[in-house]
Every structure is written in C-alpha cells, then in structure tokens.
Chains A and B, each alone.
Chain A
Amino acid sequence: MSEFPILSLITFLPVLGMIIILFLPKEQPKTIKYLSIAITGLQVIMAFVLLANYNYGAAGINEENSFQFVEKFRWIHITGISWLGTVKVDYFLGIDGLSMPMILLTAIVSFIAALSSWTIDKSVKGYFALFLLLDTGMMGVFVALDFFLFYIFWELMLLPMYFLIGIWGGPRKEYAAIKFFIYTLFGSVFILLVMIGLYFSATETLADGSKVFTFNMLVMMNPANYNSDGILSAFNPNNLRFIAYIALFAGFAIKIPMFPFHTWLPDAHVEAPTPISVILAGVLLKMGTYGILRVSYPIFPDITRDLMWYIALFGMINIIYGALVALAQKDFKKLIAYSSVSHMGYVLLGMASLTTAGVNGAIFQMFNHGTITAMLFLIVGVVYDRTHTRGLNDFGGLAAQMPVYTGFVTVAFFAAIGLPSMSGFVSEALVFIGAFGVDSIRVLTMISTLGILLGAGYMLWTLQRVFFGPLNEKWASLNDLDKREYAMLIPLSVIIIFLGVYPSAMLDLMNTSVNSLVNFVSITLHSTTLSGF
C-alpha cells in the first residue's frame, strides 16, 4: 500500500537509537535519557500516523492484499538442489486490526516507560541501549507476518530483558532474571519446533508454478497449501496437528502467563525496576495472547475449535486463581503481578468464546490491561521511590498526604476493577457477553464473573490499607507528584477514561479483522479432520 516503509522505521528506529547511544560518552547520562525519550516519543507519533492512515475496512488475518502498510521482500532465498526444496524467508511486515492496537500500546507504554526510566542512575548507557533493543523486539513481533521473522523478534527480547531485570533489579534479581529467561526459552523452543513442522507441511506456489517451502504465516493458514505427507498436514492421517497445537499453545501460554506456567511472573515483577515492570505487564504479556490469535488460531482452526472449552477453562482458572492469590499478598508489586494473571484470564476467556464480541473484548482487554497495569506499576513505583518499601501494611492514610497521587490511584484501581466509564469495564463486559453466549462455556463464564468480585475485593482493600485510615507518622514528609510523574500518569488516565466513554475508537479499529478471524476460525476445514480427539 504505502510506499514509505513506515513499519520498518517504527520497528528499527530504537535500534538506530541504540547504536547512537553506544557511541555517546557515558558521562552524559542526560543526553542519553533525552535521546531515548525522543526516540520512543517519535515512535508514538509514528503509531498515530499509522492510525490516521489506517483503513478501518480492511480485514487482514489471512489475506495478504487486505493487510496494510505491507513490506515484503525476499530475504533468504536458497534454490539449491531440487530435493532439498527451496528455502524462502521473506521480510514480510504488515498490520491489521489485531496488530494495530498492539502497536499503539507498545509505542505508548514504551514512551511512558522511557519517561519512568529517568530515575535510573546505574550504567545509564547500557540500560537505555538494552531498553531500546527490547523495544525493537516488541514492535517487531507485532508487525511480522513471516513466522521466521516473528520468531527472531520473539527471541530478541529475551536477552535485553534478562539484563534489565538482572542488572537493575531488586535483591533477588539474579534468580528472577534467570527464571524468566529459562522459562521463556523453554516455551519458545516448542514454538520453534512447530515452526519447523509447519515449514515442511505447507508450500507456497510461486508465480512460475514452482512450489517452495516457506515460513510465510498466511500461506500456512490456507488448508489448500498443505502437502499430503506433511507432519502437520491434515491430509496426512498420522499428522501431529493436535500435539503441535498444544506445544505452540504452551509456548505462548508461558508468556501470558497462563496457569500453571505463571510462576515466573511474580518473581520477575517484584525484582524488576519500575519501568521494566511497566513494559513487562504492559506489552510483553500481550505477546502470548497475540501469538495465539495471530498464529495458533488461523493456522490450526480445527484444533482451536476442539479445544475451546479447555482454553476457557484455563481462562477461568487464571481469573479466579490470580484474584485469590492477589488477595493474600502483602507486597504491593506482587499484588499487581497476580492481578495481571487474573486480568489476562479475561483475555483467554474472551478468545475461547470464538465470537466477535468475545474476541473483540479480548483484544480490547489486552490494550486496556496494558495501559491500566502500566499505570498501576507506575503508582507502585512512585511510592517505592519515596519510601523504599512496598509492604501494603507499612502504609496508611497516604490520601491526606498525597491527594493528587491518590486521585490517580483511584482512577487506576477503579479501571482495574472494571467500573463503568473506565476502559476496563467495556472490555470485560464484552468478554462476558461473548463468552456467555456460547453454550459450552457458559458455566465457566458464570464462575469467572466471581473474578470481578474478588478483584474489587483486593483492589478496594489495598486502597483502604494504603491510602485511607490514619496516616503512618513515618511518611508525614512525603511529597506529592512531581512534573515527570504527571507526564506519565496523565496520558494513561486520559486513555483509560476516554476509551471507557468512547470505546468505539478502539473497537472500530479491530472489528473488521476480528469478524474475519472469527469467521475464518469457525468455518475453515482442514480436509478430513482426523486430528483432534
């Protein structure tokens, strides 16, 4: 569509910034910080340029010509000897209604996190270099349409994240960092295996009629492209589609994180510095659910339909379990971490419904959770910077001492609870509407609604413990927010309230694609559906 390679630019701009930073002297931390904020700010501007030029009617999903801002170049092409097959990897970027909200989210959250990184004073150069590398990895995952490219971006995030937690983290940073690294790598090796399996199962027919193996995801989505003896081809009676689906799902589920793969999350969150918690909760967790929607759903529609109920079940477990564990927390950050587990459960539930309302709700919830949790972590960061403690019982009565701060906290908490007029309400409502309409998962949905109650419980209780009641004399000298903190919290609050009042701004963006996805997953047959149970 567009001649200008804006997607490449938005993806690789941070790497460019990283290279510049590496050449800057480390005695100028301010320059480095300003540069990083400028780069992420530029990314936000570009994301809005994308939004302004976005065609709301184009579906994307499985049709290459309805993707937008497409860039497609031959990257690796090995013709070689005929029986080895031709290897083809494309540099293939494009966006549709699934990725557009995620790009906006990534740009905004990265910018806010860069602002919030202002307080970092240890090895500033290394920190921002890694931060920007991470940014590229995240953006890349959301724009890549070639599985190989997708995987490279996916793995690219691991190392910066390891260092960002490991070097700038809290007391148990080493443990948290390596746990995160090994857990995610464990998940991604399965993704790799499925990727190779798919590569051998589907072939692309080129213009000259020759067939080549390819990593192009859109090719893998079309059942007609599968060859008869591919191990992941439904034409093959001994295919492994079911196992592959589970492996792929597990790889993504670790990132979400889905129960029982969630144990790395509280550790990583508690030890990570505030901006990295913001990135982690705001963007990284979304990659898991995005991956399922982008890869698992359209490539394995048959198995997805078979396993709907189980996905919903895990969604329900996430909601209830996360909320119950959150109730028991005494650490502010851990509480938010577990509330993330609970809120990502709504995304799973909405996705499992396979209805337009449910999937719309799920993606909207991904966006909302990103903004709300980012805000919650910033809120913890504000109080932690001042007091160096996060114990929920160490505070009390902060409302009198820091009234403006408490105002923002209330917005974020109510949004997390899902109060009407806040964005969280709309997405959760859509998820429940979508899921409730499906007979098979109705009971699960009904149980899941308890999560809202529990969510209100731990949030309000926290509000009460930290902000109301008598002021703990220790904190009588705390200052209210400074300018930088305003700059971080105001945009997020505006987004949360704006999308609560006018959700169509976001929903219209994804609706066409979601319709197309739901339709595609619901009706696409993979020949004889021998796989499954």
Chain B
Amino acid sequence: MANTNLYQSLSLIVPEIVLTIALLVLVTADLIFHKDKKSIPFVALAGILLTGYFTLIQIGNYGFAFQTSASAFKHYGMFASDPFSIFFKVIVIVSSLLIVFFSFSSDEIQKITDRIGEYYALIFGMILGMYFMISATDLILIYLSLELLSLSSYVLSGFTKLRDRDSEAALKYLLYGAVSSGLMLFGISLIYGLTGSTNLYIINSLIQSPDVNLFTLAFAVILIFAGIGYKISSAPFHFWTPDVYEGAPITITAFLSVASKAAGFALLIRFVKTTFVSYTDPNGMWQLINVFDWKTLLISISILTMTLGNFSALWQDNLKRMLAYSSIAHAGYILLGLVVFSDQGLKAIFIYFAVYMLMNLGAFLIVMLIANKIGSEEIDDYNGLGFTSPFLGVAFTIFLISLTGLPPTAGFIGKLYLFIALVDAKMIAVAVIALLNSVVSLYYYVRVLKHMYLTSPTKDTPAVSASLPNTILVSALVLATLVFGLYFSPVVDAAESSLFILGL
C-alpha cells in the first residue's frame, strides 16, 4: 500500500524530478567541462525542453502526491497536480525557455562565461522552487519552495558583479526577502498553533468551526500574505522591485517579472481558494468562509498596487526601472482577477498571464538587445532609435501598446477579460479605477515611443540590428501578441480547461 502510494506520488512529480536531475547534470557538467563551457547552455536548454515535455504530458492529470496520514483527509496530500498547476507550470517553463534564449545573446551573460554553469544551475533552482510552489498544498512545502526560489534569486540578481548596483540589488532583495519570509514563517506557526495542521485542506475544514480564534487567524493570514505579496511585488511589499529589477542582469529581471510572479500568484490563488473557500456555487462564484475579509484586503491592495506602480512609473528614466514599476502595476491588475472570487476571474488571470508573458518578455528582450548595443537603458539614449532601428522600434511599439492594453494586441484581450470578470461581479467602481489606471499607464509607455520616434535621429544615433535568431524570436513574440489580439479563442480555451483546482 505504502509502496503504491509512493510510486503514484513520484509519478506525479516527474517534471520536478527531471528538473532536479537536470540541475545535477548542470553542476556536474560545469565541473567536467571547466575549460570550455560552450556546451553548458545547451545542457540547460535540453533540461528545459525535457521538463516542458514532461509537464505537457501531465495535462489532464488530477492527483495528490504525498498524501496525509490523517484518516479523514487521506485523499489530500501536500502536492497537487491539477490543471491549474499545469497551466502555471507551462507559463513558467515557456518563460524559462525564452530566458535561456535571451541569455544566449545577452552581453551581460557573455561576460561571465566562466561562471555560466552556476548561472544555469541557479536558474534551475528557481524553476524547481516555482514548480513546487505552484503545486504546494502544505504550508511546509510552501515555505520550502518559496525559500528555494528566493535563495536562487538573491544570488542571481547580483550575479554579474559588473556594477555596484548589482550587489546593491542582491543585498536589498535579500534583506526584504529575509524579513518577509520571517513574517511568513511566523504566520505559518500561528496557523499551526490554531489548527494543529499544516495541510491546507485540513486547515480549511478546521477554520469552519465556530471556536477558531478569528483575531489570531487574521493576524496569521496577514503575515503569510506578506510573504506572498513580496513574491508578486504587490504594495506595500514592492519596494525591492525597482532596485532589484534595475540592478539584476536583464535576463533575470525578465524572469523575475514573469515566471516568479506567476508562481507567486499561483501560490496566492491556491492558498486563498483551498484554505478559505467553502464551496463554488453553480455560477462559478467562490463562497468564502466567513473568517477573514479577503475581499476588502485584496481590493485595497490591488488598487494601491496598480496606482502606485503606474504613478511611480511616470517619473522613471531608466527603462528597466520603468518596466519594474509597470510590472508592479500589472500585478495590481492581475489581483483584480482574484478579488472577484469566481471562476470567471480565475479565467481572466490565466488569460492575462499568458499575454503578459508574451508582451513583457518581448519588451525586456528589446531593451536587452538595445542595451547590448548602446550599453544603456536610459530613456534619453533611445532618442531617434525608432528611425535608425526600424524593426526593433516597431516591435517595441507593439509590445508597449499591448502592455497599455490597446487593441488589436493581446494585452487588450487580457484587460478585456479582467474587466468582464469585474463587471460580471458588479464591481463597477473597481473597474473604473483600473481603467483610469490604464489611461495613466499610456503616458509612460508612450513616453518611450516619444523618445524613439518624436526625436529626430542625429549622426550619433546608433543603428541597432538584431541577429537572425533574435529577429526570429522577436518576430515570434510580436506575431503572437498580434494574433492573440485578433483571434484569442485558443488562449481562452486553454484557460477554461485549466480552471480546475484540485480539492473543493
């Protein structure tokens, strides 16, 4: 019996096992080929493709690995493999794949070829952390995966050591991370004290009893939210984001802004849904257990996050920093999909993440390619670039317009579904605030266009051209951004089929 259980559990975590093996192979390969490290990136690429394959064949899986021993809850475990987790894992692995491609041509990464093995090994550490985070249904596993992700990210954000700001970024990240993970751990211990369990499903059933201490519970939940909020960089835990995004190598910045955020959101959604929802009604609305007012908390945080993100982005002259604030604002929009507490909202989050991945990584890719050439991310250095580098200029325009959320780009579809979810839940006022926010965001996105196109090029304006692989990569992202803007059935279908969260 125990053996079948273990076998079944292991079969559910095949992608994670593959990731772990790949990580070990990378470390070993790094030791063996310490003279010539040209092959290392391809080992990483193979590892990611393999993981992607094993993730994809899991589509349609439902099951728990590592089930609890408590007899009443013996069907529940600490690791859920369900359509919800697979959707987010696909997002993570696709962005990892793109990040490996980015790393091939990033100047910053080229400068550290002697440490390239560690670089990829740490990236695999991050992916592994994210994979477990997305599936974790037990507070201990949640905490461990969060730490695995964080520790790898701390090192990577200061990895190149080319400038002072790199170390500053890493240190800031570490300090903020340590504090919030400490808070989270405290919250977890309080929850354990209240319920005697770390399993989300058991906690769910116990907090429905009338004699749970509501004040302690609320306190614990807020502490745990601090840990998660820091990962998704929602206000007021977002202060590290601009510094880290600016200081980290751009490949890592892009990775943090998409994959790490996706994993954080997956964790938040699963935590809220499995712990605090008693049942989902036939209309797809989630009925919250009346112990903690998630709605008010999340609405305020979401509005605060998007407003702070957008208004701070207005003043940024460094594009990485601007995209950092923009990603904070986007976290605010995505939170809106959760505050409606319905399957409709969850669907909107899926769609938003799919398109956010395309357009945000696209924008970072362009910034990276331009920085490779001109060695700067300052907006003033972009003057006239649209004329000298027409291909990258047009592509950047499309990504920025998509980030603003204007048709006919995919970003519009993401926003449209969010607002559909909000209007469906009759939260018109929140929708209006979010829409006005997107008008504000137009200003700073268009500001880049202004520098690229409204300033005439001078003799010194460099012409940035992309190599053939990069041209293909950019074109593919542009094409996807445009096609999903006009024909979005595939994205929506994928999102609808991933709505199922194992459990309630």
Alpha-carbon distance between A231 and B419 when the two chains are bound, in angstroms: 14
Judged by a CB distance under 8 angstroms, whether A6 is at the interface is no
Judged by a CB distance under 8 angstroms, whether B431 is at the interface is yes
Q: Which residue of A lies closest to B406 (CB)?
A: A155
Judged by a CB distance under 8 angstroms, whether A167 is at the interface is yes
Contacts of A123 in B (CB 8 A): 387
Judged by a CB distance under 8 angstroms, whether A77 is at the interface is yes
CB distance from B169 to the nearest CB of A (A): 32
Judged by a CB distance under 8 angstroms, whether B214 is at the interface is no
Judged by a CB distance under 8 angstroms, whether B488 is at the interface is yes
Cross-chain contact A193 with B454 (CB below 8 angstroms): no
Alpha-carbon distance between A167 and B416 when the two chains are bound, in angstroms: 30
Alpha-carbon distance between A80 and B499 when the two chains are bound, in angstroms: 11
Contacts of A182 in B (CB 8 A): 439, 442-443
A111-119, A157-165, A348-356 - interface stretch:
A157-165
Judged by a CB distance under 8 angstroms, whether B428 is at the interface is yes
Cross-chain contact B489 with A77 (CB below 8 angstroms): yes
Contacts of A240 in B (CB 8 A): 428
Knowing A159-B406, A189-B439, the reply to whether A80 touches B450 (Cβ < 8 A) is no
CB distance from A320 to the nearest CB of B (A): 31
Q: Which residue of A lies closest to B496 (CB)?
A: A80
Q: Which 9 A-B pairs have the closest CB atoms?
A: A189-B435, A152-B407, A80-B496, A166-B454, A196-B423, A155-B407, A83-B284, A78-B492, A186-B439
Knowing A81-B496, A167-B453, A231-B423, the reply to whether A178 touches B408 (Cβ < 8 A) is no
Judged by a CB distance under 8 angstroms, whether B89 is at the interface is no
Cross-chain contact B442 with A78 (CB below 8 angstroms): no
Cross-chain contact B493 with A178 (CB below 8 angstroms): no
Judged by a CB distance under 8 angstroms, whether A177 is at the interface is yes
CB distance from A92 to the nearest CB of B (A): 15
Alpha-carbon distance between A178 and B446 when the two chains are bound, in angstroms: 8
* Interface residue from B387, B423, B487, B492 paired with A87 (Cβ < 8 Å): B492
Chain A residues 37 to 87 lying within 8 A of chain B, measured CB to CB, are: 75-78, 80-81, 83-84, 87
Knowing A83-B282, A162-B446, A196-B420, the reply to whether A76 touches B488 (Cβ < 8 A) is yes
Alpha-carbon distance between A197 and B435 when the two chains are bound, in angstroms: 14
Contacts of B487 in A (CB 8 A): 75-76
Cross-chain contact B453 with A166 (CB below 8 angstroms): yes
Question: Number of A-B pairs whose CB atoms are under 8 Å?
Answer: 96
Judged by a CB distance under 8 angstroms, whether B343 is at the interface is yes
Judged by a CB distance under 8 angstroms, whether A185 is at the interface is yes
Judged by a CB distance under 8 angstroms, whether B438 is at the interface is yes
Given contacts A178-B443, A185-B442, 7 further A-B contacts (CB under 8 A): A76-B488, A81-B496, A155-B408, A156-B408, A178-B450, A182-B439, A189-B439
Judged by a CB distance under 8 angstroms, whether A200 is at the interface is yes
Q: Which residue of A lies closest to B397 (CB)?
A: A159
CB distance from A76 to the nearest CB of B (A): 6
Cross-chain contact B344 with A84 (CB below 8 angstroms): yes
Interface centre among B397, B416, B420 (most CB of A within 10 A): B420
Chain B residues 338 to 354 lying within 8 A of chain A, measured CB to CB, are: 343-344, 347
Interface 1/0 per residue, B464-504 and A, CB below 8 Å: 00000000000000000000000111001100100100000
Cross-chain contact A196 with B416 (CB below 8 angstroms): yes
CB distance from A160 to the nearest CB of B (A): 11
Chain A residues 173 to 189 lying within 8 A of chain B, measured CB to CB, are: 173-174, 177-178, 181-182, 185-186, 189
If over half of B's interface residues share one DSSP class (helix, strand or loop), that class is named, otherwise mixed; here it is: helix
Cross-chain contact A81 with B499 (CB below 8 angstroms): yes
Knowing A123-B387, A182-B442, the reply to whether A78 touches B423 (Cβ < 8 A) is no
Interface 1/0 per residue, A215-229 and B, CB below 8 Å: 000000000000000
CB distance from B419 to the nearest CB of A (A): 5
Contacts of B347 in A (CB 8 A): 84
Query: How extensive is the interface on chain A, given as a class?
Result: 35 or more
Contacts of A163 in B (CB 8 A): 449, 453
Contacts of A196 in B (CB 8 A): 416, 419-420, 423, 431
Judged by a CB distance under 8 angstroms, whether A408 is at the interface is no
Q: Which residue of B lies closest to A163 (CB)?
A: B453
Cross-chain contact A80 with B284 (CB below 8 angstroms): no
Alpha-carbon distance between A190 and B419 when the two chains are bound, in angstroms: 12
Cross-chain contact A167 with B442 (CB below 8 angstroms): no
Cross-chain contact A199 with B450 (CB below 8 angstroms): no
Judged by a CB distance under 8 angstroms, whether B401 is at the interface is yes
Cross-chain contact B424 with A200 (CB below 8 angstroms): yes
Interface centre among B347, B387, B453, B488 (most CB of A within 10 A): B453
CB distance from A267 to the nearest CB of B (A): 15
Contacts of B496 in A (CB 8 A): 78, 80-81, 84
Knowing A83-B283, A182-B443, A231-B426, the reply to whether A174 touches B454 (Cβ < 8 A) is yes
Judged by a CB distance under 8 angstroms, whether B21 is at the interface is no
Chain A residues 8 to 50 lying within 8 A of chain B, measured CB to CB, are: none
Cross-chain contact A80 with B493 (CB below 8 angstroms): yes
Q: Which residue of B lies closest to A247 (CB)?
A: B432
Alpha-carbon distance between A123 and B282 when the two chains are bound, in angstroms: 58
Judged by a CB distance under 8 angstroms, whether A497 is at the interface is no
* Interface residue from A80, A185, A197 paired with B439 (Cβ < 8 Å): A185
CB distance from A365 to the nearest CB of B (A): 30
Judged by a CB distance under 8 angstroms, whether A120 is at the interface is no
Alpha-carbon distance between A356 and B126 when the two chains are bound, in angstroms: 69
* Interface residue from B419, B450, B454 paired with A192 (Cβ < 8 Å): B419
CB distance from B137 to the nearest CB of A (A): 24
Judged by a CB distance under 8 angstroms, whether B162 is at the interface is no
Cross-chain contact A231 with B428 (CB below 8 angstroms): yes
Contacts of A475 in B (CB 8 A): none
Sample (29) of A-B pairs whose CB atoms are under 8 Å apart: A76-B487, A78-B493, A80-B496, A81-B343, A83-B283, A84-B343, A87-B492, A123-B387, A155-B406, A155-B407, A155-B408, A158-B406, A162-B446, A162-B449, A166-B450, A166-B453, A174-B450, A178-B446, A182-B442, A185-B406, A185-B439, A185-B442, A186-B436, A193-B419, A193-B423, A193-B428, A193-B432, A196-B416, A197-B428
Judged by a CB distance under 8 angstroms, whether A151 is at the interface is yes
Q: Which residue of A lies closest to B280 (CB)?
A: A83
Alpha-carbon distance between A8 and B53 when the two chains are bound, in angstroms: 42
Contacts of B419 in A (CB 8 A): 192-193, 196
CB distance from B403 to the nearest CB of A (A): 13
CB distance from A395 to the nearest CB of B (A): 31
Alpha-carbon distance between A163 and B450 when the two chains are bound, in angstroms: 9
Chain A residues 138 to 169 lying within 8 A of chain B, measured CB to CB, are: 151-152, 155-156, 158-159, 162-163, 166-167
Interface centre among B401, B408, B450, B493 (most CB of A within 10 A): B450
Interface centre among B397, B426, B438 (most CB of A within 10 A): B426
Contacts of B283 in A (CB 8 A): 83
Alpha-carbon distance between A126 and B424 when the two chains are bound, in angstroms: 42
Contacts of A192 in B (CB 8 A): 416, 419, 435
Alpha-carbon distance between A196 and B431 when the two chains are bound, in angstroms: 11
Q: Which residue of A lies closest to B408 (CB)?
A: A152
Alpha-carbon distance between A155 and B397 when the two chains are bound, in angstroms: 15
Chain B residues 234 to 255 lying within 8 A of chain A, measured CB to CB, are: none
Alpha-carbon distance between A215 and B484 when the two chains are bound, in angstroms: 18
Contacts of A158 in B (CB 8 A): 406
Cross-chain contact B492 with A80 (CB below 8 angstroms): yes
* Interface residue from B284, B343, B387, B446 paired with A181 (Cβ < 8 Å): B446
Q: Which residue of A lies closest to B415 (CB)?
A: A192
Alpha-carbon distance between A80 and B488 when the two chains are bound, in angstroms: 13
Q: Which residue of A lies closest to B437 (CB)?
A: A189
CB distance from A110 to the nearest CB of B (A): 20
Contacts of B454 in A (CB 8 A): 166-167, 173-174, 177
Contacts of B435 in A (CB 8 A): 189-190, 192-193
Interface 1/0 per residue, A183-215 and B, CB below 8 Å: 001100110110011011000000000000000
Q: Which residue of B lies closest to A78 (CB)?
A: B492
Contacts of A166 in B (CB 8 A): 450, 453-454
Cross-chain contact B423 with A197 (CB below 8 angstroms): yes
Interface centre among A75, A83, A84, A162 (most CB of B within 10 A): A84
Alpha-carbon distance between A173 and B435 when the two chains are bound, in angstroms: 26
Contacts of A77 in B (CB 8 A): 489
Cross-chain contact A189 with B453 (CB below 8 angstroms): no
